[in-house]
Amino acid sequence: MDVPATGAWSGSADGQARARFDRDRHLRALRARWRTASLAAGWRFPSDWALPEVDAVCAAVVRHGATGAETALAGLGRARAAAGAGLSETLSDLAALHAVLADPDAVDGFVSPDVDATPARLLRVTALAWADVATDQLVHTEVTDPLTGLPSAAYLRTRLGEVYRRESGDDHVLLTVSADLSEVSGWSRLTTMILIADAVRAIFDTGESYATIGPSAVAVLAWRDERLASRGVSLRRSLNERLSADAQLRDVVRPKVSAVRLPATHEAACALLTELAHS
């Protein structure tokens, strides 16, 4: 499962630039092949696959080989759990990476991932990291996303339960902001979610409940009143202003704002929340 780490070039500026170019090329190629293999193996929501931790794993593999990427894989396992990916899906994604590295001639990423063929140590490291976060989520159902500072989807499900205990939900809507971040990575991805969260907080500042419901989506539990339409317009304007100020984001990220009426029951509303997280 190892790949050769990028070798050292001469100490000249040209040599260092060439080394960086080759390393970046290897990173992009590995990331693309891994994504293709993971989607082909059944990853359910393509826009949610790319996380900053994916880039960290690719960088560790290119520098040190797969056996030197355990720390990065643990980070990815934790990130997958925090984003709501199941253990089976997380390990299938790891198997896709292993299959890509085991067959470097399959340049298009079309390989046959097999969890049972993945080294047990890497499976164990990833699974234990995933379980740490999943267990913590069960114990602490109301947590804050460290990136955006917004509460988690578990918090919003709790708030929905409170709404349905008092009324039918007819007076509320779920307003969501989502973005396809499959074409961005690293700092640009982090920046996008921070800007979205800032815009939501700025517009919905009168006691509404909001939360990060997925790696690329934020939801607001808002009153269905005469102000909702104008606030939706203000939110779109605020998002455009924030994202257009970043040259790396203005032509790539186009957030989608939508409002959906709550269904008749709390159970249906929670199911809707999960659906909206991946829409």
**Is the domain of 83 the same as that of 191?**
no
The residue from 139, 168, 189 where one domain ends is: 139
With helix as H, strand as E and coil as C, how does 169-214 read? CCCEEEEEEECCCCCCCHHHHHHHHHHHHHHHHHHCCCCCEEEEEE
What is the structure's pLDDT at 6? 46
Q: Domain boundary residue among 83, 104, 139?
A: 139
CA distance 52 to 156: 25
Residue 240: count of CB within 10 angstroms of its CB: 14
Rounded to the nearest angstrom, the gap between the alpha carbon of residue 64 and the centroid of all alpha carbons in its chain is 25
> For residue 2, is it within any domain?
no
Residue 111 near residue 96, CB atoms below 8 Å: yes
**pLDDT for residue 57:** 95
161 and 259 share one domain: yes
DSSP conformational letter for 152:
B
Same domain, yes or no, for 105 and 159?
A: no
Rounded Cα distance between 80 and 56, Å, is 13
Domain count for the chain: 2
pLDDT at 68: 87
Q: In this structure, are 58 and 173 located in the same domain? A: no
HEC-encoded secondary structure of 224-265: CCCCHHHHHHHHHHHHHHHHHCCCCCCCCCCCEEEEEECCCC
Which residue range is the domain that position 185 belongs to? Answer: 153-277
Q: Are 66 and 183 members of one domain?
A: no
Claim to verify: residue 100 and residue 164 sit in the same structural domain? no
Residue 84 has a pLDDT of 79
17 burial (CB, 10 Å; 0-12 / 13-18 / 19+) is exposed
> Would you state the pLDDT for residue 279?
67
- Taking the chain (279 residues) in runs of 10, the rounded mean pLDDT of each run is 47 63 83 92 84 93 88 94 87 94 74 89 93 71 71 88 82 89 76 89 91 89 91 93 81 86 90 82
Query: Both 17 and 132 in a single domain?
Result: yes
- Residues 163, 267, single domain; the answer is yes
Is the residue at 254 inside a domain? Answer: yes
What confidence score (pLDDT) does residue 9 get? 39
Q: CA–CA separation, 273 vs 67, rounded Å? A: 38
The model carries a pTM of 0.52
